[in-house]
């Protein structure tokens, strides 16, 4: 009886280990209420309490809140991104996202006398 039980555990054990539930981070979409102002669609993105540069964040420029993406870019190792400003209008919707990060949405108005670039802070998904 002991030999049979040992053989069954040896054969089934790896399957039980592989069947362990996988935990995924919960994400919450963060929406900035105020309209940001900038001269261009560029800036720095940081993340977390220590405000570390956020690398490899996808930045999408959209024509409306849920509209199609007009352009996109990824942040570099220093958290910097630059997207060429589309020809259509002066108000743009940006969505920043990456695995393990709460997606962030904001509206940006392009103005000649605005700040030179955007500063965006992201939070880790929990």
Joined together, the tokens standing for residue 2 give 């002991």
Which stretches of the chain drop beneath a pLDDT of 70? 1-25, 65, 88-89
Query: What was the pLDDT predicted at 126?
Result: 81
Q: Please name which of 97, 87, 122, 110 lies closest in space to residue 41, comparing C-alpha atoms.
A: 110
Cβ neighbours of 122 (radius 10 Å): 22
Query: In the block, which residue shows the tokens 């007009």?
Result: 70
d(CA 122, CA 106): 12
Of 6, 42, 9, the closest CA to residue 120 belongs to: 42
Q: What is the pLDDT of residue 15?
A: 42
CATH 3.40.50.1820 at 26-122, yes or no: no
> What's the pLDDT score for residue 66?
73
The token pair at 62 is 């959209």
Domain ranges of the chain: 26-122
Q: What is the pTM of this model?
A: 0.77
């Amino acid at each position: 009886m002991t030999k049979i039980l040992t053989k069954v555990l040896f054969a089934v054990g790896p399957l039980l280990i592989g069947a362990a539930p996988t935990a995924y981070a919960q994400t919450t979409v963060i929406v900035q209420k105020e309209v940001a102002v900038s001269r261009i669609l560029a800036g720095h993105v940081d993340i977390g309490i220590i405000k570390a540069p956020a690398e490899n964040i996808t930045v999408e420029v959209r024509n409306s809140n849920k509209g199609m993406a007009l352009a996109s870019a990824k942040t570099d190792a220093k958290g910097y991104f630059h997207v060429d400003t589309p020809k259509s209008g002066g108000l743009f919707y940006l969505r920043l996202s990456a695995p393990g990060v709460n997606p962030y949405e904001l509206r940006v108005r392009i103005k000649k006398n605005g700040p030179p670039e955007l500063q965006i802070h992201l939070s880790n998904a929990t």
